[in-house]
Structure 1
Amino acid sequence: MNGTERKNIKPGTRVKVVQKQDQRTGALTEGIVKDLLTKSPVHHRGIKVRLESGIIGRVQEIIG
């Protein structure tokens, strides 16, 4: 699923995010969404979220 649309992501959704420091390498971190930080309905680089682990990143992939 697409991580650029806010409507596809809700708290509790399992996702893969790219953290700011990993944008060059594209390394992804998997986790469960705690909060949505992007207010706009669409963001071309991915909706910014906070995972339950505290990690903040932009959603690249929605799992499952």
Structure 2
Amino acid sequence: MESNKITGSIRNNIKIGSDVEIVQKHHQRSGELTEGTVKRILTKSPKHPHGIKVQLETGEVGRVKWVLA
């Protein structure tokens, strides 16, 4: 099931409870994505070129590549 994807580099696109795909620090080279639900938004700036950093409900932390709409 392919859904619409919104870029994760703009903070306003991400809300607590959003379903997202993130890249964790140790997966940056491979680009492996982890899917989950946003628990906390960690980046304060309105934009970040590599994605807004978030914590998922599972406790995993990474930069948002895609917000699943």
Same fold (TM over 0.5): yes
- For 1:13, give the aligned amino acid: S
State TM-score, norm by structure 1. 0.99
Deviating above 6 A after TM superposition, structure 1's stretches of 4 or more consecutive aligned residues are none
SS at 2:7 equivalent: coil
Aligned length, in residue pairs: 64
- For 1:23, give the aligned amino acid: Q
Q: Which runs of 5+ in 1 are unaligned?
A: none
Counterparts of 1:61 and 1:6, CA distance in 2? 12
- For 2:12, give the aligned amino acid: K
Q: Which runs of 5+ in 2 are unaligned?
A: 1-5
Counterparts of 2:23 and 2:52, CA distance in 1? 11
Is 1:63 matched with 2:57?
A: no
Provide the residue aligned with 1:2 in structure 2: 7
Larger Rg: 2
State the Cα RMSD in Å.
0.3
What fraction of aligned residue pairs are identical, expressed as a percent? 55
Is 1:34 matched with 2:33?
A: no
